[in-house]
Amino acid sequence: MLTREKLIEKALLLLALSAIGSLALITIFIFLEGLPIILKTGVSHFIFGAHWAPTKGHFGILAMILSSIYVTLGALIFGVPLALACAIILAEFAPASLTKILKPTIELLAGIPSVVYGFLGVVLLVPLIRSYLGGPGLSLLAAAMILGIMILPTVISISIDAMNAVPALYREGSIALGATQWQTVRKLVLPAARSGIITAIILGMGRAIGETMAVIMVAGNALSIPTSILDSVRTLTANIALELGYASGAHREALFATGIVLFIIIMILNSAATLIAGRK
């Protein structure tokens, strides 16, 4: 009986390792494919060069790194206030019956395919920006607004969990001292749930920076460094997805190298989230 038990344990371990193994394989693969071109171009030229013309031998991705950062920050500016307001209402103020309906509804947002967000962006948002604010409509602003909505479910559900983890005893104490419910939330619950909320925001950032399809559809994908929120931008993910279909040789390697940069950025974000969540 013991041997069979051991056998099952080993089999499960093997399966678990294969999941991690695929991560290792992906990592090794993109580094093998992408590193040579980074070293050949020079790390600083690759990262701080603003001229991207891969079929003519120019590999600089600064414009795309900046665009990715701007778009992500924009998404946070639109998404975080909405998400926090939503989380506070659902965790602290709304009656349980309402929460029971609203929370799954918000989580449904996460299940909508990104191409649908992109399509809505192109059909509804882009013409509005074009006619009321000017420019081609396909812009940093459009991408940031769409991503702001896309990160809502991530940020809301993790923030709610963080607030629910604050012991009810604290709240009762605060109310007993004469604080109003809003004062309790602002002075007690939010600070106590801070690390969880920051983790939620960082994971939302990861979601925004990694999004591809919706961004390709609404951002316009121009190669220059944006100077206004109405300028068209190309993010790192969009660059890979747009050009991989045709790329060969050094061009292909340069796209994998773009992937390495993206990989490192997302690793940093995720480690930061893990660190903050673990600290408490």
Partner 1 sequence: MQNKNPLPFLVWMLCGCLVLVSLACGRGDRQSQTLTIAGSTSVQPFAEKLAEVYMKQCPGLLINVQGGGSSAGIMAVQQGAAQIGASSRELHGEEKKLHEAVIAWDGIAVIVHPSCPLDNISLTTLRQIFAGEIKDWAALGLKPHGMHVITREEGSGTRTAFEELVMDRREISPTALVQDSNGAVREIVAHDPHAIGYISCGLVDQQVKALAIDGVLPTGANIKKNLYKLTRRFLFVTAQQPAGLAQEFCAFVLSPQGQILLEKEGLIGVH
Q: Where are the alpha helices (DSSP H) in 42-151?
A: 43-48, 62-88, 96-109, 114-120, 126-132, 140-150
- Cα 228 vs. chain centroid, distance in angstroms? 22
Q: How far is the CB of 70 from partner 1 (least distance, A)?
A: 16
Q: Is 49 a residue that touches partner 1 (CB under 8 A)?
A: no
The Cα 101–Cα 8 span in angstroms is 41
Nearer to partner 1, 185 or 216 (CB): 216
Among 3, 44, 97, 248, binds partner 1 (CB under 8 A): 248
Which residue type, as a one-letter code, is found at position 61?
I
Point out which span in 21-29, 33-41, 52-60, 266-274 binds partner 1 (CB under 8 A). 52-60
Among 34, 54, 206, 259, binds partner 1 (CB under 8 A): 54
Torsion of CA 78, 236, 56, 223, to 10 degrees: 0
Interface characters, 182-221, with partner 1 (x: CB under 8 A): ----------------------------------x---xx
Contact 87, 94 (CB under 8 A): no
Sign of CA dihedral 27, 30, 36, 40: negative
The Cα 207–Cα 221 span in angstroms is 19
Point out which span in 55-63, 80-88, 90-98, 197-205 binds partner 1 (CB under 8 A). 55-63
Residues of span 216-245 touching partner 1 by CB under 8 A? 216, 220-224, 231-232, 234, 242-243, 245
Point out which span in 48-56, 155-163, 188-196, 269-277 binds partner 1 (CB under 8 A). 48-56
Nearer to partner 1, 154 or 239 (CB): 239
Among 2, 43, 56, 169, binds partner 1 (CB under 8 A): 56
Residues of span 109-168 touching partner 1 by CB under 8 A? 127, 130, 134-138
Q: Is 4 a residue that touches partner 1 (CB under 8 A)?
A: yes
Q: Is 60 a residue that touches partner 1 (CB under 8 A)?
A: no
Which residues are CB-contacts of 125 (< 8 A; sequence separation ≥ 6)? 137, 142, 145, 146, 218
Q: What's the CA angle centered on 47, arms 44 and 50, to 5 degrees? A: 105
Contact 75, 144 (CB under 8 A): yes
- The residues that touch partner 1, with contacts defined as CB under 8 A, are 4, 7-8, 11, 51-56, 63, 127, 130, 134-138, 216, 220-224, 231-232, 234, 242-243, 245-248, 251
